[in-house]
Amino acid sequence: MSNRKIPLVSGEYFHIYNRGNSKQEIFLNEDDRDRFVKLLYLSNSKKRVNFRDDIIDQKIDAWDFKRGETLVSIGAWVLMPNHFHIYITSPKSNLGENENNISEFMRKLLTAYAKYFNTKYKRVGSLYEGTFKSIHIKNDNQAKYLFSYIHLNPIKLIDSKWKENDFCDKNTFLKYLNTYKWSSYNDYRGISREENKILQLSDFPDYFSNIKDFDLEIFSWLQNKDAFFP
């Protein structure tokens, strides 16, 4: 995971994503999505965490696990049927001056989920399309673009051509996003839920001082999608 044009260095921000091998779906049902989301939380630990040993056998809720010191900070995320997106950074205070923290987190996350998925569905071979991809986020405009891009991704599940269509049913789209639990969208909208624990927003610039600002940003993208999705 280290042969990258831009190393995943501490103190910088990155868009991390990957999809299923040959574009196959990697989340087949809610149980799969629930496991990956819990692993987003559990894998972000300097401890060695095993879901069966530490969660199932101990008969505890994954969200109650005391994970201790974290490897990275997550600013946004979304799951789609055959891929995922994560906005991530490794604060300099978390150790390391190189890519080890982000790479270690991704190794733990992807290995744990692949083991779960392959065992459950009795399959072998690579689950993902090669090594996870990374884009270095260099400025505020790029970061705000990414926030909205990640959180608007699920709209494709109800209208795959929404970016190309002249008519855009904004209210329907917003209602759907409000009910889609497999992203950090509702965390930004102030909804109290266990998934709030995945995010460490103090390590990211404060682009949205309140829920109204966040809603306005999302709505502006829906209104001016041609400008944001060239």
Query: What are the residues facing 74 on neighbouring strands?
Result: 88, 199
Query: What are the residues facing 137 on neighbouring strands?
Result: 13
pLDDT per residue over 145-176, tens digit each? 898 899 999 999 998 777 766 666 778 888 99
**CATH number assigned to the domain covering 13-228:** 3.30.70.1290
The model's pTM: 0.91
Q: Specify the pLDDT at position 167.
A: 62
Q: At what angle do helices 170-179 and 211-223 cross, to 10 degrees?
A: 130
pLDDT per residue over 53-64, tens digit each? 999 999 999 999
Q: Specify the pLDDT at position 123.
A: 94
Q: Specify the pLDDT at position 229.
A: 47
The residue ranges of the chain whose pLDDT is under 50 are 1, 97-98, 228-230
Q: In what order do the strands lie in the sheet with 73-80?
A: 73-80, 83-89, 13-19, 133-137
Q: Specify the pLDDT at position 2.
A: 52
Report the alpha-carbon distance of residue 175 to residue 218 in Å, rounded.
Answer: 12
